[in-house]
C-alpha cells in the first residue's frame, strides 16, 4: 500500500494505526491486568490489519503469538487473584489500610511480614532510634511518649512506625504497648525493597501512610485542645 495522506486516513489505514494506538495506551497503564488487555486489543487489530489489508502472513503470525502470550498471562493473573485467600485478621487489616490493593497485591505484601503477640510493657519503637519495622495493631493498645511524656495513643487498626519507615529519619517518640496486643509487622528493608519493585503498591502505601499521619495529627490536636495546650 502506497503511503499517502488519503491512505493513512482511510478505514484500512486507521485499522493499522489502531494497533499502535492501543499498544501505546496500554503502556500508560499502572496495572498489569489492563496493560495486558491493551496489548491483546493491539494484537487483534494488528492481526486484522495483517490479514485483511496488507496480506502479510509473517506479521499475522507474530501478532497471533503476542495475542496468545498475553491471553495466557491474563488467565494466570485472574487465577492468582481468585486463589488469594485471607484470614479474618488479615481481612481486618486489608479493610483498614490496604483496601485499594488487589487481592494478589495484598497477599504478596502480607506474606512479606509476620504476625506476633506481645505483652504489656513491650517497647516496639524507641525515640531517637531507627524504625526497623512497620506495625499494624490488630488488637490492643499502645502509648506514644516523647521526652518521657505521653503524647498520643495507638489502638486497633492503627499503623505504627509509618512516619519514618520509608526514610532514614529517627523515631520521634517511643511506642510501648499498654495492653496485650496482636500485631502484624514487616521489616523496613523488606518493605522498601518490595515497594521499589511494585510501584502501584507504593502509591497505595504512600497514600495510606499519609492518611494515618493526618488522623494522628488531628487526634493530637484534639488532645492538646482538651488539655488547654492550644489556649496558652
Q: Locate 150 and state its grid cell.
A: 505521653
Q: What is the pLDDT of residue 164?
A: 86
Nine cell digits for residue 140: 490492643
DSSP assignment of 81-124: HHH----HHHHHHHHHH-TTS-HHHHHHHHTTSEEEEE-TT-EE
- Cα 82–Cα 88–Cα 90 angle in degrees, nearest 5: 70
For residue 60, CA distances in Å to 47, 48, 51, 74, 173 come to 5, 8, 6, 21, 63
The residues, ordered by sequence, that sit 6+ positions from 17 with a Cβ below 8 Å of its Cβ are 8
Q: What is the pLDDT of residue 159?
A: 92
Rounded Cα–Cα distance for residues 114 and 112 (Å): 7
Find out whether 47 and 63 touch, Cβ atoms under 8 Å.
yes
Q: What is the pLDDT along the chain (232 residues), one digit of tens a residue?
A: 455 545 555 777 788 888 889 889 988 877 778 888 999 999 999 999 999 888 899 999 999 999 999 999 888 878 777 767 888 899 999 998 888 888 889 999 999 999 999 999 999 999 999 999 999 999 999 999 988 888 888 999 999 998 888 887 899 899 999 999 999 999 999 999 999 988 888 988 888 888 777 776 666 666 556 555 544 4
Give the separation between CA 37 and CA 154, rounded to whole angstroms.
43
pLDDT digits (tens, 9 = 90+) for 123-182: 999 999 999 999 999 999 999 998 888 888 899 999 999 888 888 789 989 999 999 999
For residue 82, the model assigns a pLDDT of 77
First to last CA, the chain: 82
Tell me the fold of 88-226. Answer: Jelly Rolls (2.60.120)
User: Pairing relation of β-strands 133-139 and 142-146?
Assistant: unpaired
Instruction: Determine the pLDDT at residue 120.
Output: 95
Tell me phi and psi for residue 89, to 5 degrees.
-70, -30
pLDDT of residue 219: 64
- By the 8 A CB rule, do 53 and 1 touch? yes
- At residue 230, the pLDDT reads 43
Using the 8-state DSSP alphabet, how is residue 68 labeled?
H
- Which among 75, 21, 10, 29 is positioned nearest to 46, based on CA atoms? 21
CA–CA separation, 4 and 143 (whole Å): 73
Amino acid at each position: 500500500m502506497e503511503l499517502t495522506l488519503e491512505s493513512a486516513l482511510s478505514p484500512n489505514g486507521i485499522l493499522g494505526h489502531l494497533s499502535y494506538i492501543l499498544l501505546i495506551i496500554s503502556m500508560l497503564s499502572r496495572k498489569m491486568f489492563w496493560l495486558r488487555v491493551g496489548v491483546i486489543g493491539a494484537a487483534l487489530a494488528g492481526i486484522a490489519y495483517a490479514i485483511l489489508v496488507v496480506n502479510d502472513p509473517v506479521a499475522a503470525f507474530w501478532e497471533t503469538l503476542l495475542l496468545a502470550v498475553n491471553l495466557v498471562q491474563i488467565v494466570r493473573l485472574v487465577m492468582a487473584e481468585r486463589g488469594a485467600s485471607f484470614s479474618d485478621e488479615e481481612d481486618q487489616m486489608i479493610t483498614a489500610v490496604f483496601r485499594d490493593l488487589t487481592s494478589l497485591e495484598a497477599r504478596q505484601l502480607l506474606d512479606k511480614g509476620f504476625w506476633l503477640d506481645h505483652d504489656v510493657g513491650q517497647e516496639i519503637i524507641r525515640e531517637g532510634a531507627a524504625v526497623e519495622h512497620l506495625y499494624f495493631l490488630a488488637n490492643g493498645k499502645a502509648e506514644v511518649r516523647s521526652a518521657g511524656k505521653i503524647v498520643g495513643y495507638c489502638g486497633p487498626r492503627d499503623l505504627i512506625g509509618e512516619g519514618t519507615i520509608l526514610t532514614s529519619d529517627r523515631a520521634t517518640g517511643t511506642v510501648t504497648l499498654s495492653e496485650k496486643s496482636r500485631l502484624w509487622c514487616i521489616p523496613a528493608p523488606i518493605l522498601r525493597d518490595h515497594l521499589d519493585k511494585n510501584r502501584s503498591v507504593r502509591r497505595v502505601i504512600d497514600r495510606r501512610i499519609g492518611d494515618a499521619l493526618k488522623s494522628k495529627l488531628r487526634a493530637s490536636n484534639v488532645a492538646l485542645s482538651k488539655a488547654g495546650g492550644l489556649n496558652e
